[in-house]
Amino acid sequence: MDADLRKKEAFKITWLGFIANVSLALFKLVAGIVGRSGAMIADAVHSVSDLVTDVIVLIFVKIAAKPSDEEHRYGHGKFETFATVVIAIILFAVGVGMLVTGVRKVHACLVLDEEIGQPAMIALWAAVISILAKEALYRYTMIVGKRIDSQAVVANAWHHRSDVFSSIATLAGISGAIFLGAKFAVLDPLAAALVSVFIIKVSIDLCTGSVNELVEKSLPKKEEQEIIAIITSIPEFHQLHNLRTRKVGNRTAIEVHVRVDKNMTVESSHALTCVAEKKLRERFGEQTFISIHVEPIK
């Protein structure tokens, strides 16, 4: 996909998410305060974190779209990877904060026998609206993220989905606290604590993949086997070795050495590498970085 079009698509979906998150965060915060729901207030804080990640995506996707220059021969794709790490860290911090707050309230209610007020119906309706809005936003953002092959946009989609699960747990806790009576009011902070575990897991998964890319981890074995199969499908290439692969943002980098008949002309060997490059780009994308070093068979 054209870099400018990719950037426009990423900006469009992220701005949509930003506007939705501003509206939902304000609505849930008011509903949590008016409705006396700790779980809803925690959910509102989670939505505020979404605003931060939207801003991060807007900044770093713009940087990542810049073409290669003298200081960044492989482009600026890893800025997008770095943005994904930042999003994951924010998610982790939000999850831990929600867990600590929820556990403290559950402990205060069950161990210290402190009373927790029952939430009002406005908090319940806020949870329902949040679930519907954020699930729709997650699905749309994920579709766009995969279409433009943007890790940061996909990561942001998962942040929207984490808000869905947060609101589902919040809805369950608020419903129990409202309909089962005052002695079940503890379900409200318990819901906030349980959903935080999912948020923490999502943040770790996102961070792991991006850190692996930043430390130059090779492509999965399956993809490397595909590369080997594509190159060795050319009969004149022999003894493939020194295969090196990595991700550079949303682009793939492939370096490999192959041996050819020592009597083959430079022109012929060059033509064969062009064939191999074309096949590899058909599989891994037109912007794939490819370096094929040709050696004579001794």
The model's pLDDT over 149-176, given as tens digits with 9 standing for 90+, comes to: 777 678 778 777 777 877 787 787 778 7
On whether the CB atoms of residues 185 and 177 are closer than 8 A, the answer is yes
CB neighbours of 18 closer than 8 A, spacing ≥ 6?
A: 51, 54, 55, 58
- 123: confidence class by pLDDT, cuts 50, 70, 90: confident
- 231: confidence class by pLDDT, cuts 50, 70, 90: confident
Paired tokens of 86: 């930042």
Amino acid at 122: I
Per-residue pLDDT at 257: 92
User: What is the CATH architecture of 3-214?
Assistant: Up-down Bundle (1.20)
Amino acid at 85: V
Whether residue 233 has pLDDT greater than 80: yes
The CA dihedral of 278, 282, 286, 292, to the nearest 10 degrees, is -40
- Dihedral sign, Cα of residue 134, residue 136, residue 138, residue 140: negative
Which of 168, 143, 166 has the alpha carbon at shortest distance from 156? 143
How would you classify the pairing of strands 289-296 and 251-260? parallel
Cα gap 248→255, rounded to integer Å: 13
Cα gap 271→285, rounded to integer Å: 20
As annotated, the residues of the chain forming the CATH 3.30.70.1350 domain(s) are: 221-296
On whether the CB atoms of residues 80 and 61 are closer than 8 A, the answer is yes
User: What is the CATH architecture of 221-296?
Assistant: 2-Layer Sandwich (3.30)
On whether the CB atoms of residues 249 and 75 are closer than 8 A, the answer is yes
Cα gap 134→224, rounded to integer Å: 37
CB neighbours of residue 13 within 10 Å: 25
Round the CA-based radius of gyration of the chain to a whole number and report it.
25
As annotated, the residues of the chain forming the CATH 1.20.1510.10 domain(s) are: 3-214
- Could you report the per-residue pLDDT of 47-99, keeping only the tens digit for each? 776 666 667 666 666 665 565 656 555 555 566 677 777 778 877 887 788 78
- Could you report the per-residue pLDDT of 253-282, keeping only the tens digit for each? 888 898 888 888 888 888 888 888 888 888
- Could you report the per-residue pLDDT of 170-206, keeping only the tens digit for each? 787 778 777 876 677 677 677 777 777 777 887 787 7
Paired tokens of 67: 């073409």
